[in-house]
Structures are given as C-alpha cells and as structure tokens.
Chains A and B, each alone.
Chain A
Amino acid sequence: AQKITQTQPGMFVQEKEAVTLDCTYDTSDQSYGLFWYKQPSSGEMIFLIYQGSYDEQNATEGRYSLNFQKARKSANLVISASQLGDSAMYFCGGGNNRLAFGKGNQVVVIP
C-alpha cells in the first residue's frame, strides 16, 4: 500500500508565475504509478499528469510537469505560467491499482 504526504500550507501564486507542489510517498511496491489531480471548488477530480515508477524521463503535459526523484520518493508537480483557472485543490496520488491520495495542496492564483 502507498502512503502519500502533502504538507504544504495553502499558497497564493501570482498569475503567470510558476508554482511547485510537494509530494512524497512511501511504498513497498516495486512497480507503481504516481498521479496528480486537480479539484476545483465544483468538486470534480480532474486528471493532470501520470508518472510510472520505471519511467526515467519526467512526465510533462502542457503546463504541468512532474519532478520525479525516485531515490527521495518525491513526485513534485510544477505548474508553469499560472492562470486564474488553476485555483483549486491539488491531490497527489499513487499506487498499483489501488490509489492512495494525500491531503491536498490549496492553490489560489491572484492577478
């Protein structure tokens, strides 16, 4: 089973700036996936990006990139060029079929 830790307090980010959201994980699985989801105030969970534990390259999806450091068991999300619509809760998830999630990071983008 996975344990996901997100401990940053809520943050304000200036529009067009980059923001990094921290995520560390603990697992005994040899093979696993790491995910980031966005949850706006409307409540739906929106998939952002995926990293496989055996992927050597960091995943990127548009303005989202995942800084994967396997030895440190971290999977930080970087959002570049923040937009007002990026204001939301962000959840790091990981596992092998059964996804565990952290407690989330609150991001507010200000103009």
Chain B
Amino acid sequence: GAGVSQSPRYKVAKRGQDVALRCDPISGHVSLFWYQQALGQGPEFLTYFQNEAQLDKSGLPSDRFFAERPEGSVSTLKIQRTQQEDSAVYLCASSLVGRDTEAFFGQGTRLTVV
C-alpha cells in the first residue's frame, strides 16, 4: 500500500519479555518518527530519524527502549524487559524532510503487557 504500515497491529507480551515493533514508512520519506500514546492521552514523542541517522531520542523513556533504521527506510522499535507501564499504542509516522510538511501516521501497534 501507499501509506505507513506498522506490524503487528496488536501485541500481548508477558512482563519481562522483549518485543520488536516494525514500521514501514511511505517510500521516499526521509523523516520517521515514533510516538507512544497511552489511553486517553495525546501521542508522546519518542524518537526521530532522518534517513538512517537518529537525530533525536530524547523522548525514549528508559534505556529499555531502542530504535533503529539501519538502511533509512524500515524502522524497528525494540522494548526490552517489558513492564506494565509500557502498555500503549505505538505510532509511527513518516514525512518528507522539512518543518512544513505533514507527517503521515500508521495505524499503530497496540501493546499490552500482562
């Protein structure tokens, strides 16, 4: 498809388990963003890539969170030793470079840690 694709759509993890969330951005989009959205809240910024370079990771809540985009297209958000407070929807967005271009969002991955 032509939009941002995220997989899996739903993930249930046992506390302590590692998870990997995948994002396929729109082809040709240089910028890629990850957000975390808790129930009833707005999306919270996690990290930002421009091509393969991770330019901002200041929103990652702990060192258990790690994101990569090795070839400047597909990105993976990895959460190690998941905890219940990690339960949220993880949104990926991509855009052309520049401040005045809108970001297109995927449908998100709903992570539930039990």
Contacts and interface: CB of A to CB of B under 8 A. Distances in A.
Interface of A: 4, 6, 31-33, 35, 37, 42-47, 50, 52, 91, 95-104
A45 B91 contact: yes
10 contacts: A6-B42, A32-B99, A45-B43, A47-B104, A91-B43, A97-B48, A97-B55, A98-B45, A98-B59, A101-B35
Nearest to B91: A45
B60 interface: no
Interface of A is mostly: strand
Interface residues of B, number: 26
Interface of B is mostly: strand
Given A98-B48, A102-B42, A45 B93 contact: yes
Contact of A43 (B42, B100, B108): B108
B18 interface: no
Contact of B33 (A43, A99, A102): A99
B102 A35 contact: yes
Interface in B71-90: 89
B35 to A, nearest CB: 8
Interface in B17-71: 31, 33, 35, 41-45, 48, 50, 55-56, 59
